[in-house]
């Protein structure tokens, strides 16, 4: 009887220890954790249906689902700035963003002042995001200065396009007050140009952009050029821009149009473990042949580590290290 009294507390202690281990023995969460629960579902936030993020996001979501068995859905959103806030609030795991917006978010600058997005890291950069100032031949708009007094869409609320528009106007000694600003998605912008309710629109997206292609089917499209001296001034003031062009033949253009670009990138929540992000990164870069969009041809693991601007998630970095890929 005495022996039983001794054994009971001992067994109880072992049982309690096992219970505590089970409750607290999850994994390293956050940036760099190499354990962690594998989620059953992930949200990949993209942009509007008329842009490049959404069709690419759909392809990536399908690739990730097939390769990792984690059900991943591409979701329509207001694009870069909204996506960074969605990651911060824990409402998505993967997101598209412009490199400039991701940098602002991580550092708590510009529209993120006082509200830095600290729980985000990069998978990598994807392709140039061309700033296209879209109008029609009938508008009479031939230069950025001609936008003065016109009804001009600068993108959906929460998108990165608005800041691009503001900075381009700035190097032309203009402000948003010099235009009749409209806050429209790409689809709404091209519809507005078509029905005459707006005169022009800033579109920051990989070209060709679906919404603009649709407009070019019925309208004589003009992409407003940015002159070389203004391109140089913009890059000097904001080094995340690069020189770019909309090629001849795009939207039935008869010659290439000089402009600038930022880069598109994929970011992830730091709540995802190293193993999960490694699997996601590997899945995307080893299945690019399944991406039908034209921009898929510009995406590569070799270029993904260049111009990122924020920390790369350890899971993605593990993949690049295995491939011997380093930033140039």
> Per residue in 104-143, pLDDT tens?
999 999 889 999 999 999 999 999 989 999 999 999 999 9
Query: Is residue 4's pLDDT more than 80?
Result: no
- Residue 41 tokens read as 């579902």
230-285 confidence digits (pLDDT tens): 999 999 888 788 899 999 999 999 999 999 999 999 999 999 999 999 999 999 99
* Cα gap 258→244, rounded to integer Å: 6
Query: Is residue 29's pLDDT more than 70?
Result: no
Query: Is residue 86's pLDDT more than 50?
Result: yes
Considering only CA atoms, which of 271, 269, 265 is closest in space to residue 284? Answer: 265
Going by the DSSP 8-state scheme, the letter that residue 312 receives in this structure is B
> Which residues of the chain form CATH 3.40.190.10?
41-126+264-323, 129-262
User: In this predicted structure, what is the pLDDT of residue 36?
Assistant: 60
Quickly count: other Cβ atoms within 10 Å of residue 62's Cβ: 16
Between 260 and 8, the higher pLDDT residue = 260
User: In this predicted structure, what is the pLDDT of residue 281?
Assistant: 98
Query: Is residue 309's pLDDT more than 90?
Result: no
Mean pLDDT for the stretch of residues 16-44: 57
Task: Name the CA radius of gyration of the chain, rounded.
Answer: 24
Out of 3.40.190.10, 3.90.79.10, 3.50.50.60, 3.40.80.10, the CATH code matching 129-262 is 3.40.190.10
151 three-state secondary structure: strand
The CA dihedral of 262, 230, 170, 77, to the nearest 10 degrees, is -20
* Cα gap 287→5, rounded to integer Å: 63
Between 3 and 177, the higher pLDDT residue = 177
pTM of the model: 0.73
8 A C-beta contact, residue 76 and residue 50: no
148-164 confidence digits (pLDDT tens): 999 999 998 767 898 89
* Cα gap 76→199, rounded to integer Å: 26
Cα angle 301-112-183, degrees, rounded to a multiple of 5: 90
Q: For a pLDDT cut of 70, what percent of the chain falls above it?
A: 89
- The CATH superfamily of 41-126+264-323 is Periplasmic binding protein-like II (3.40.190.10)
What Å distances lie between residue 179 and 149, 226, 263, CA to CA? 5, 17, 26
Query: Is residue 228's pLDDT more than 60?
Result: yes
> What kind and span of H or E run contains 222?
strand 221-223
């Amino acid at each position: 009887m005495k022996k039983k009294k001794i054994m009971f507390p001992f067994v109880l202690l072992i049982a309690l220890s096992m219970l505590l281990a089970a409750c607290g023995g999850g994994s390293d969460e956050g940036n760099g954790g190499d354990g962690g629960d594998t989620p059953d579902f992930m949200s990949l936030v993209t942009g509007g249906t008329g842009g490049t993020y959404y069709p690419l996001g759909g392809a990536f979501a399908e690739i990730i689902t097939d390769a990792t068995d984690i059900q991943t859905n591409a979701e329509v959103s207001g694009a870069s700035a909204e996506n960074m806030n969605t990651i911060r609030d824990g409402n998505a795991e993967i997101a598209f963003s412009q490199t400039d917006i991701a940098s602002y978010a991580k550092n708590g600058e510009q529209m993120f002042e006082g509200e830095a997005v600290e729980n985000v890291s990069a998978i990598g950069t994807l392709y140039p995001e061309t700033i296209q100032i879209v109008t029609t031949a009938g508008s009479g708009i031939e230069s950025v200065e001609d936008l003065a007094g016109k009804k001009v869409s600068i993108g959906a609320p929460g998108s990165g396009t608005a800041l691009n528009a503001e900075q381009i106007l700035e190097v032309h000694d203009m402000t948003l007050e010099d235009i009749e600003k409209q806050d429209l998605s790409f689809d709404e912008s091209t519809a507005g140009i078509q029905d005459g309710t707006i005169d022009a629109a800033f579109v920051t997206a990989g070209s060709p952009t679906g919404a603009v292609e649709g407009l070019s089917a019925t309208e004589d499209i003009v992409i407003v050029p940015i002159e070389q001296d203004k391109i140089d001034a913009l890059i000097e003031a904001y080094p995340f821009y690069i020189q770019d062009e909309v090629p001849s033949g795009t939207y039935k253009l008869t010659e290439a149009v000089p402009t600038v670009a930022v880069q598109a990138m994929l970011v992830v929540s730091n709540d995802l473990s190293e193993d999960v992000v490694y699997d996601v990164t590997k899945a995307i870069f080893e299945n690019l042949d399944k991406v039908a969009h034209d921009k898929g041809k510009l995406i590569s693991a070799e270029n993904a580590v260049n111009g990122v601007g924020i920390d790369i998630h350890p899971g993605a970095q593990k993949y690049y290290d295995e491939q011997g890929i380093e930033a140039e």
